[in-house]
Chains A and B, each alone.
Chain A
Amino acid sequence: MSANPTSRETSTSMLTVPETFPPAVAVEVRGLQKSFRIPTQRIDTLKERATQLFSRTEDRELRALRGIDFDIHRGEFFGIVGRNGSGKSTLLKLLASIYRADAGTVRIAGRVAPCIELGVGFNPELSAHENVALNGVMMGLTPREATARFDDVIEFAELEEFTEMKLKNYSSGMLVRLGFSLMTHVDADVLLIDEVLAVGDASFQQKCFDAFARLHGEGRTIVLVTHDMAAVEGHCDRAILLESGRVDRAGEPGDVARRYLELNFGRREPGEVEGVASGARDAQVIGAAIERASGEPASGFAQDEEIVLEMVIEAVRPLVRPVFGFQLVNADGLLIFAPEPILLTDRERLEPGERARIRTRIANPLAAGHYYIHAAVGRGFEGRDPVAFRKNVADFVVYGTRSFGGLVAIDCAAESEVEPRRDDGI
């Protein structure tokens, strides 16, 4: 039945759900590998190059993808998930022809929307009108098509009143709307989408998913990279989970999402230890998980929805009066909150091999965005003697349901009245 038996054989190993007809493949990835050389010191100028010509520069090799195989079927809504640094963005850039693979092949049927981030290539000095014409061509339309679709693009983005305004005067929300609208209007057969859902307010997100549903219904293939397991389970037909540059799990979105949450929690690895003298590593951060108040594992929260953080710490050597803590940072790395020292409630010390499980209920006045948790263990007065620290043990996304500005919502109550006119009277 299949036209190309050899390629089908290799492709069905992990993914294909048994079906009577082999579905048409839209994206085929085989043995894909990609490494980056990271110079220990960046050489940017001739002088540095000359002085370091004879000294040994040690390039650290970062293997972002270590041989990946999967297929995406035509018309499928496909999720790619993975923790930070698992290689999912690299994979997307290889699919989009932004990076060149070291080994392996990518084959795609039809046209790929060449953009993985909204609004790339917008010129802030030009109006929306001119930008749609220019960006539409970047996305693969002919100049005539780009001009013809202008009205549709603007209508979907709800920017009818601002077509002649320069983009530098647009708000970030307007830019995202214009970028998203354009992306859905360029007739790509395969759309690659990286984390667009963490931006914009709730109604825009709903609109995004409605648009995805429409494109999906038209038979287009959508590849979504996300941290949001609710989106994966709710919308994707299938998904893969990347871990350390390999496909860890592939198939049912629910299965993949569970595995993702499991990985985030149960991993036992030395992890990144920073700011801790090696001799002082008397404890280990085993893992952390984010849950809803109901105890259900989650990675996406509506604003004001309580977040529960659970951390597991293991003592390597006896720990007397350990102090636990965490840092909540936003996507820019800005520290939003660190709690007062957390102590063991009923014990004074932790013996080697013993684990402490710390559950913290956190109110959620956070602005929409992506957040990360760093875990820390200390001892001594207020835990000032650090014992273990691990970055990015957990992360979650907060969706906008309210429209305040800034980093957190501070409770406030406003009243207003209209002042009587101060007429001087004649």
Chain B
Amino acid sequence: MSEPASGLELQDIRGPSALGGGTKRFFDLLWLSALTEFKLGYHGTVLGFLWSFLRPLLLFGVLLVVFTQVFRLGSQVENYPAMLLLNILLFDFFSQATQQASTSVVRNESVVRKMQFPRLVIPLSVVLTNALQTGLSLIVVFVFLLVYGVDPVWTWLFLPLILGALAVLTTACALLLSAAYVRIRDIGIIWAVLSTVLFYASPILYPIEVAPQSFQDLIALNPLTPLFEQTREWIIDPNADGAVEAVAGNTWILIFPIAIWVAVCVAGPLVFNRMAPRVAEEL
């Protein structure tokens, strides 16, 4: 053990915060926590972390049968199974990460109340864990796309853009929800229902053009909508309408999902930062 350094300066102790305790420790903790959660995520199950891919895959199987055999939607859309699988995986990342994050601060009560712990690490590590799982699953999905016969095109290189925008939105939602959940426990249930609503109100199961016009206007407000539209144009079917073409000339409509995206991304960190110093007393 090293001797304590002599000539230490007195420094202000300002109490707990979202980031407190030094940047190095923050990132070390974030990485270690995420890795631990990733390792323990499907702890005790026979198939282990394969489940992180199998779970969306099973949902995909059910929906594929319903929408190709019952509703015949699949046959109207180019590469429908490929689109469905990729969309489900991306949405699963969003919904799992936000739902797990919403309760995360409360679940880690003992660390919050008995240790100087940077609060932001808690929801961020949940998002990071889910990002790791999704990243691994994406490799499998792209193998599937190639086997299925989707032509690789140069616009695949834009995938990180979509993932980045989705990850930022997911993180902001995670922060907002985890902060709100400390005071209002209803958030857990409300968000579970809202996630389901978002699932159907995003062009995941269907391309936006098959929806009735009035419904199209509504889901155009959803900040997830442009992401899925761009995913389809860039990855699955270059001839499909992207986010800009889908609004058919009324480009100004895009302002709404973008504005909501920006608003959530600003509000998330702000709300969390306000809550962070007092959370130990609220719990």
Contact = CB atoms under 8 A, between A and B. Distances in A.
Given A36-B281, A98-B113, A115-B115, A219 B32 contact: no
A125 B40 CA distance: 8
A220 B36 contact: no
B21 A110 contact: no
Contact of A100 (B16, B24, B113): B16
Contacts of A241: none
A120 B114 CA distance: 7
Given A134-B32, A218-B4, A96 B280 contact: no
A223 to B, nearest CB: 13
Contacts of A142: 24, 28
A45 B183 CA distance: 8
A138 B117 contact: yes
B30 to A, nearest CB: 10
A187 B4 CA distance: 7
Contacts of A187: 1-2, 4
Given A25-B10, A105-B12, A107-B11, A114 B4 contact: no
A137 B29 contact: yes
Contact of A218 (B1, B13, B32, B184): B1
A77 B88 CA distance: 59
A46 B16 CA distance: 27
Contact of A137 (B3, B14, B16, B32): B32
B149 interface: no
B47 interface: no
Contacts of B12: 105-107
A219 B36 contact: no
Interface in A137-170: 137-138, 140, 142-143
A185 B280 contact: no
Contacts of B110: 120-121
B32 A120 contact: no
Contacts of A120: 110-111, 114-115
A187 B1 CA distance: 7
A117 interface: yes
A94 B186 contact: no
B116 interface: yes
B8 A94 contact: no
Contacts of B11: 107-109
A99 B281 contact: yes
A28 B12 CA distance: 9
Interface in B185-241: 185-186
A357 B2 CA distance: 55
A211 to B, nearest CB: 12
A257 interface: no
Contact of B36 (A47, A99, A130, A143): A130
Contacts of A93: 280
Contacts of A415: none
A307 interface: no
B20 interface: yes
A180 B9 CA distance: 27
A115 B114 contact: yes
A97 to B, nearest CB: 4
A117 B114 contact: yes
Contacts of B20: 97
A140 B1 CA distance: 14
A178 interface: no
Contacts of B9: 109
B58 to A, nearest CB: 26
A123 interface: yes
Contacts of B186: 45-47
Interface string A209-223: 000000000111000
B4 A110 contact: yes
Contacts of B114: 98, 115-117, 120
Interface centre among B3, B32, B43 (most CB of A within 10 A): B32
Contact of B185 (A45, A134, A185): A45
A69 interface: no
Nearest to A152: B1
27 contacts: A25-B10, A45-B184, A46-B184, A93-B280, A96-B115, A97-B15, A97-B21, A97-B116, A99-B16, A99-B280, A100-B15, A105-B12, A105-B13, A106-B12, A109-B8, A109-B9, A114-B117, A116-B114, A121-B111, A130-B36, A134-B33, A134-B36, A138-B117, A187-B2, A187-B4, A219-B3, A219-B4
Which 10 A-B pairs have CB atoms at the shortest separation, nearest pair first? A100-B15, A114-B116, A109-B8, A97-B116, A107-B10, A106-B13, A110-B8, A100-B277, A120-B114, A46-B186
Given A116-B115, A140-B25, A143-B28, 13 more contacts: A44-B184, A46-B184, A98-B113, A100-B16, A109-B10, A110-B5, A112-B13, A115-B115, A115-B116, A120-B115, A126-B40, A137-B32, A189-B4
Interface of A: 25-26, 28, 36, 44-47, 49, 74, 93-101, 105-110, 112, 114-117, 120-121, 123, 125-126, 130, 133-134, 137-138, 140, 142-143, 185, 187, 189, 218-220
